[in-house]
């Protein structure tokens, strides 16, 4: 029998992290742990992720293999006439800004989470799947207390949740949304998870649930067919590797664009000596804004429609392409997505960074299952060329960027984030906080963030510039000062190995994050 491992897990909910840690106590490894945590997250983080969604898991194994499991959503194999499709907009209000998403069965892409968790567990786990799924089953069956962050998510996603009769019974059983301290149970989801244990992933891709989903999709304005589900496959990819100030970063490769864009931003920043720059200073904020702006300009300059293609990342990151976007930084130096993330590392040298999402949910739940389907065809961030421009039967590009930082080939830091278009800027800032400003991981995650996009510079409290210095900024933009930290700026959950066998980490409080550590 293999020796029991110790390690650490950071996640978006204490119950999610605890589900993972229990697998280490039971003799499993970090891959058992993160699969258990993902299943638990589908219960206790139901507005952020679902068995009906998709994601990515970046694995570093004890024998130093790096594998990216791509189980993100896929476009359908055929279209329908627009007048046959249920697809309509809703606005999500973050408080100081809003973001439009589209829902309905016409927003549902081919899901991958169930296939992904099955494949990762079969290849890298060592515990029986029934044991791995047990924490999620018990959470769904017995229930849990709604926290402040969960209640906040229910409120901002109210138009979607209440549009779905089955979900309305779960989150508003007495005619009002559940509030902090209320008890939430999902017995139908518990039954579904038990069916999953008994039947495997065929339940969702060729079995009873697949057929129900397809019948409803064809009758109520969706695209999905049995062929879409039966032909879905998890793709194993070679991760994208880059270097930042002597550290090796391993992240999500194309067809997702998030990892490539983080690598590009870090490459721009690497040309600047930050040793004498103070965190939050005018120079620091200006550099961050310019890095974000130049990265967006570089992406828009002919790469938006091509960044997912094989080989394009290398051209995008080449010195000859980066240099014109790096030059403005030198001149300066001289003078909120519903997604959740889990990071884990164990004493055997295994590490896993997994980001999963259901979008905001499509407002359709497979009847009697507790499983709301994704709305990945209705996320504007995933379809920059327009909702009608998607190509049939391809992986949808994503900003998700599960990331590892290696030292001497071994995992030192595991991190990732939710947050739609803010994923890449959140991860960029945490990495820079750790490496450039030498912050402990908790401070690196907790420190205030900024996000620049489309001429708007968003700043969390603790970061500001006087009006005179705003006027001297090198480019025009609207300033948006947030009154408190918010999930808009992502949710970076990170674990770190500070020395062999010594683990720490941070769960991002912007998204109710939690850290669980099992010491020797």
Q: How much of the chain, in percent, has pLDDT values that exceed 70?
A: 92
Domain ranges of the chain: 239-340+401-500
Q: What is the pLDDT of residue 500?
A: 86
Mean pLDDT of 59-80: 96
Q: How many CB atoms lie within 10 A of CB 433?
A: 21
Checking DSSP bridges between strand 351-357 and strand 365-366, what pairing results, if any? unpaired
**Cα torsion angle, 390, 393, 396, 397, sign:** negative
Q: What is the pTM of this model?
A: 0.92
The structure tokens 């999620």 sit at 136
Residues found in the chain: 520
Of the candidate ranges 5-9, 254-258, 490-494, the one whose mean pLDDT is the lowest? 254-258
Q: What is the pLDDT of residue 466?
A: 67
Q: What is the pLDDT of residue 194?
A: 98
Each residue's pLDDT tens digit, 122-134 = 999 999 999 999 9
Q: What is the pLDDT of residue 394?
A: 92
The DSSP string of 288-318 is HHHHHHHHHHHHHTTTTTTTTSTTHHHHHHS
Q: Which residue has the higher pLDDT, 152 or 38?
A: 38
Tell me if 358 sits within 8 A of 49, measured CB to CB.
yes
Q: What is the pLDDT of residue 367?
A: 96
> Where residue 472 falls among pLDDT bands split at 50, 70, 90?
low
> The domain at 239-340+401-500 falls in which architecture?
Orthogonal Bundle (1.10)
Catalytic hit among 286, 339, 340, 403? 339
Mean pLDDT of 442-462: 92
Q: What is the pLDDT of residue 398?
A: 85
Q: For residues 379 and 373, give the distance between their C-alpha atoms in angstroms, rounded to a whole number.
A: 13
Q: What is the pLDDT of residue 488?
A: 87
Of the candidate ranges 196-200, 291-295, 314-318, 350-354, the one whose mean pLDDT is the lowest? 314-318
Q: Is 64 helix (H, G, I), strand (E, B) or coil?
A: coil
Each residue's pLDDT tens digit, 92-121 = 776 666 778 899 999 999 999 999 999 999
Q: For residues 32 and 350, give the distance between their C-alpha atoms in angstroms, rounded to a whole number.
A: 11
The average confidence (pLDDT) of the chain is 90
- Does the pLDDT value for residue 174 go beyond 80? yes
Please list, in sequence order, all residues whose beta carbon lies within 8 angstroms of the beta carbon of residue 133, skipping any fewer than 6 positions away.
Answer: 36, 39, 193, 194, 196, 197
Q: For residues 418 and 426, give the distance between their C-alpha atoms in angstroms, rounded to a whole number.
A: 9
Of the candidate ranges 149-163, 238-252, 314-328, the one whose mean pLDDT is the lowest? 314-328
> Taking the CA of residue 332 as centre, how many other CA atoms within 13 Å lie in the half-sphere pointing to its CB?
28
Tell me if 375 sits within 8 A of 217, measured CB to CB.
no
- Does the pLDDT value for residue 335 go beyond 60? no
Q: What is the pLDDT of residue 337?
A: 54
Of the candidate ranges 85-89, 142-146, 239-243, 397-401, the one whose mean pLDDT is the lowest? 397-401
Q: For residues 24 and 5, give the distance between their C-alpha atoms in angstroms, rounded to a whole number.
A: 6
339 given a catalytic annotation: yes
- Does the pLDDT value for residue 467 go beyond 80? no
Q: For residues 255 and 269, give the distance between their C-alpha atoms in angstroms, rounded to a whole number.
A: 24
Tell me if 81 sits within 8 A of 96, measured CB to CB.
no
Tell me if 222 sits within 8 A of 108, measured CB to CB.
yes
- Does the pLDDT value for residue 336 go beyond 50? no
Tell me if 423 sits within 8 A of 432, measured CB to CB.
no
Q: What is the pLDDT of residue 374?
A: 97
């Amino acid at each position: 029998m293999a020796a029991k491992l110790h390690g650490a897990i950071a996640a978006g909910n204490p119950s999610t992290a605890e589900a993972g840690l229990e697998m280490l106590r039971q003799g499993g490894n970090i891959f058992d742990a993160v699969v258990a945590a993902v299943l638990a997250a589908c219960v206790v983080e139901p507005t952020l992720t679902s068995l009906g969604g998709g994601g990515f898991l970046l694995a570093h194994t004890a024998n130093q293999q790096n594998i990216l499991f791509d189980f993100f959503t896929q476009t359908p194999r055929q279209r329908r006439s627009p007048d046959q499709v249920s697809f309509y907009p809703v606005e999500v209000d973050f408080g100081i800004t809003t973001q439009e998403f589209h829902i309905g069965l016409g927003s549902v892409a081919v899901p991958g989470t169930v296939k992904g968790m099955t494949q990762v567990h079969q290849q890298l786990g060592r515990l029986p799947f029934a044991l791995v799924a047990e924490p999620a089953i018990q959470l769904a069956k017995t229930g849990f207390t709604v926290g402040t962050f969960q209640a906040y998510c229910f409120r901002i996603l109210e138009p979607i949740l209440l549009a779905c009769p089955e979900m309305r019974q779960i989150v508003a059983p007495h005619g009002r949304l559940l509030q902090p301290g209320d008890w939430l149970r999902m017995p139908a989801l518990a039954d579904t998870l038990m069916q999953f244990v008994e039947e495997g992933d065929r339940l969702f891709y060729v079995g009873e649930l697949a057929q129900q989903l397809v019948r409803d999709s064809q009758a109520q304005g969706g695209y999905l067919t049995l062929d879409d589900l039966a032909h879905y496959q998890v793709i194993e990819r070679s991760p994208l590797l880059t270097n930042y100030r002597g550290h090796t970063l391993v992240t999500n490769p194309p067809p997702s664009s998030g990892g490539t864009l983080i690598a590009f931003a870090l490459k721009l920043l690497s040309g600047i000596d930050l040793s004498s720059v103070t965190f939050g200073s005018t120079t620091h904020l200006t550099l961050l804004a310019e890095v974000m702006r130049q990265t967006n300009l570089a992406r828009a300059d002919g790469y938006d429609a091509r960044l997912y293609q094989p080989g394009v990342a290398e051209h995008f990151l080449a010195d000859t392409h980066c240099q014109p976007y790096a030059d403005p930084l030198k001149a300066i130096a001289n003078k909120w997505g519903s997604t959740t993330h889990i990071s884990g590392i164990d004493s055997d040298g295994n590490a896993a960074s997994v980001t999963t999402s259901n979008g905001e949910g499509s407002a359709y739940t497979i009847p009697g299952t507790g499983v709301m389907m994704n709305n990945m065809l209705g996320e504007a961030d995933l379809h920059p060329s327009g909702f009608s421009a998607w190509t049939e039967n391809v992986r949808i590009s994503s900003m998700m960027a599960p990331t590892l930082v290696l030292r001497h080939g071994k995992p030192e830091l595991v991190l990732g984030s939710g947050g739609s278009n803010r994923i890449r800027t959140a991860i960029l800032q945490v990495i820079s906080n750790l490496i450039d400003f030498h912050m402990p991981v908790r401070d690196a995650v907790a420190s205030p963030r900024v996000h620049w996009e489309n001429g708007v510079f968003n700043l969390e409290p603790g970061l500001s510039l006087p009006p005179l210095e705003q006027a001297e900024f090198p480019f025009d933009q609207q300033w948006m000062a947030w009154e408190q930290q918010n999930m808009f700026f992502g949710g970076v959950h990170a674990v770190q190995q500070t020395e062999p066998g010594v683990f720490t980490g941070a769960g991002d409080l912007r998204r109710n994050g939690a850290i669980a550590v099992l010491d020797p």
